[in-house]
Homo-oligomer: A and B are copies of this chain.
Amino acid sequence: MAVTQHDIAKKLGISQRLVSYALTGHPYVNEEMRARIKQEAERLGYRPSRSARALVTGRTYQITLCFPFLGPSHYNEIIRRFEILARQTPYDLLVCTYDPNGKDGHSPQFTVDGMIFVSPASRLAMHINCPVVVVQNQMTRPVQAHEEVMDRVQIDTANAANAAMDHLWDEGFRRIAYVAPKHMMDPEDFRYSSYLEKMAAAGLPPELITLPIPGEELICQNAHDVLKEHFGEHGFPDAIFCSNDDIGIGAYGALQEMGRRIPHETAVLGFDDFDYAKYLTPPLSSVSMPVQEACRRAWEMLMQRIENASLPPQFERFDAQLVVRKSSLGKSKQAQGL
């Protein structure tokens, strides 16, 4: 099968241990010998067995990145950021999905050096007995006991979500709909709660448009289909607050196909501020997430936790921020050509 250190040693008439020392940079090897060994390793096409190394060192040099599902551009950006970070370290990156509602059924079965959970998985992460960092949106509920002992990077969405609803209101929109997949119609989520509160305060009925939980189908397509049907049955809202930008794009498509102009007839506001938002026609208002900073900090926390398991819980918050673009401007600002 594969070439081992033993093969190299035999070829060179030396001990296997010397090969190991030479290859891992142990100082007790003279440089001439090290060079010969490395050359022979290369010649034979030697590749170290990560399993064997991991077994003896207790380190896999693998980090698992866990999402509730894949698809959203926002997650794509997160994977991209973590890959850039991982590339600068000896760690490799595993990507997997978990069932956020499953107890721990879908959670990765095997050992890695650390895990990063994106989003609501704090319940799941609790059962993992390796270094874990959770990147999650701030919730309306107080921090739970099991969360307080975890390393967490929190994105504060409360202000931004409130600002988004205030903005839509101030722009003069009254019939405002909220669109989200089923699992995000959650009173603990600030998007949802901000929406409900604002509408309740105004004495207006909420208009909730629920999408299926993302599976194999595409989120933007789900959104497009459901919204077209909704508009056909109930007519058009003045504004649509989307729980992410993928839904926002679906809304753009639905409105456009039905001849409805954005924002003149129906305004759209997204969430996550993905890369494309500012280049859409019209540019999509959204809530910007500090992805790069959050990922960098999460990675740093994880590295420190791996170094030192007894570190006190680490915590850092970053603010999400409303970004107003043309897609959510009311009649007065539109007239000003803003």
Contacts A51-B54, A129-B2 known; A71 to B80 CB distance under 8 Å? Answer: yes
Contacts A129-B45, A216-B84 known; A94 to B97 CB distance under 8 Å? Answer: no
Contacts A1-B58, A50-B60 known; A250 to B221 CB distance under 8 Å? Answer: no
Complex-state Cα separation, A316 to B75, whole angstroms: 31
Q: Does A239 have its Cβ within 8 Å of any Cβ on chain B? A: no
Interface string of A127-138 (1 = CB under 8 A from B): 101000000000
The answer to whether B83 touches A108 (Cβ under 8 A) is no
Contacts A2-B111, A95-B79, A111-B2 known; A256 to B276 CB distance under 8 Å? Answer: no
Q: Does A280 have its Cβ within 8 Å of any Cβ on chain B? A: yes
Complex-state Cα separation, A93 to B65, whole angstroms: 10
The answer to whether A93 touches B96 (Cβ under 8 A) is yes
Give the residues from 108 to 154 in chain A that come closer than 8 angstroms, CB to CB, to chain B. 108-111, 127, 129
Residues of A within 8 A of B (CB): 1-2, 45, 47-52, 54-55, 58, 60, 62, 64, 70-71, 73, 75-76, 79-80, 83-84, 87, 92-97, 108-111, 127, 129, 216, 218, 220-221, 224, 246, 249-250, 252-254, 256, 262, 275-276, 278-283
